[in-house]
Amino acid sequence: ADMFGKSVHSAIGCTGCHSDVDLAAHPPADKVIPNARGFSIAMTRVCHGCHADKVDQWQTSIHAALILANNPSAPLCTDCHNPHAVIKGAAASIDQIPCKKCHADIYTAYLGSMHAKARLKSAESYAPICTDCHSAHAVQPTSSGQGPEAACFGCHAGVLEAHDKWLPNAALHFEVVSCPACHAPNAQRKVDLMLIDSKDAQPRGIEQVGVPLFEASNRSDGKGIDAQALWNVLQTLNRSGIAGKTVVRGRLEASTGPQSHQLADKSKAISDCRICHSSGSQAFQNVTISLVQPQGQRLRYGANADVLSSPISLESVGGFYAIGATRIKLLDILVILAIVGGLGVAVGHLALGWVFKFYGFTLHGGHGGQPGGGQDQKTA
């Protein structure tokens, strides 16, 4: 009662939310509540009465999708907001962030980041907390759209131009390298190969691809999906008669969610190209292949590092591979041979054309280039 009296809901009283309660006959003798979870889900309809905009946002979130999938841990309104003790602005305090209830490991990692340190240093700091990057109610999975990078760009305007001053081909780096891959210098890095639709660049889901296809491709030696298996999967998905081509989009990322939140000051960000662009780079030894589950989370399968370097991998990782940049020597050689071969064909074609044109002119032109017959024609 004391907590409720201090809350923002105190003005509406108990019956503001519990309109079915008759205070003269409470508790009723015949009311049955099967379980607390079911009761809490039903009570979200009450929240909608006053907070329709917030509930509508929540219904587009991964949290709501998990509720529909009967996930018992997915948060409802009352999991993040204690309905009897809601204090305005409390969630803006780092130690009151409700996200830490479910995401304790990420919350701990965030506390060590430059964002949290700035927030703790000054209450007036604009450094972001969870809801600033992920939204408070319309929380989306990292597989959708640009993912967390879109939030980074929201605060750090002009980052592309700033990187363009020292980073070669900065725009391409932004496409295939996540921000934490460089700005969380203590994180381990990996290459994630996501299957996407080549037309709309949307991730392929397990309902489109089928988990058994990947389960059957996992190697028994524990080294994950190899180059041949990935190639076979793509051939199956892109067989004749199948609408929409499935391709692979590769991104360099921090290996785990907590590591992605260990963001350091920009002075400590990785700027040495050799860390990634050197033969045998650690990041290229850690590879996953990912699909999207119906609720939006990524389903990742471990992959053998040879999916990036095998002769049959060029089609599989073409959207990620860059000649000379990814330091995959075998593919570099194959691509160079293909370029040289293509140029050879073009040069050979031009040379033969010139030869035939020259001799054809001599054959038919006679002396002075005029049509002629007689002895000169026969001699030629």
For 135-196, the DSSP string reads -SSS---TTSTTTTHHHHHHHSTTHHHHHHTTSTTHHHHHHHB-HHHHHSTTS-EEEEEEEE
Total residue count of the chain as it appears in this document: 380
Residues 6+ apart with CB under 8 A from 99: 80, 106, 107, 130, 131
Q: Is the pLDDT of residue 281 over 60?
A: yes
The arithmetic mean of pLDDT across residues 74-88, rounded, is 89
Most confident of 177-186, 305-314, 343-352: 177-186
- Give the dihedral sign, CA 141/146/148/150: negative
Question: Which pLDDT belongs to residue 324?
Answer: 62
Q: Is the pLDDT of residue 362 over 70?
A: no
Please report which helix (H) or strand (E) contains residue 332, including its range.
helix 329-365
Q: Is the pLDDT of residue 150 over 90?
A: no
**Percentage of the chain with pLDDT > 90?**
28
**Percentage of the chain with pLDDT > 70?**
82
What CA–CA distance (Å, rounded) separates 60 from 135? 12
Cβ atoms of residues 184 and 260 within 8 Å: yes
Cβ atoms of residues 63 and 75 within 8 Å: yes
What CA–CA distance (Å, rounded) separates 97 from 104? 11
Q: Is the pLDDT of residue 111 over 90?
A: yes
- Coil vs helix vs strand at 76: coil
Q: Is the pLDDT of residue 216 over 60?
A: no
Give 47's pLDDT tier (boundaries 50, 70, 90): very high
Identify which has the larger pLDDT, 279 or 7. Answer: 7
Q: What is the dihedral of CA 363, 365, 368, 371, to 10 degrees?
A: 130
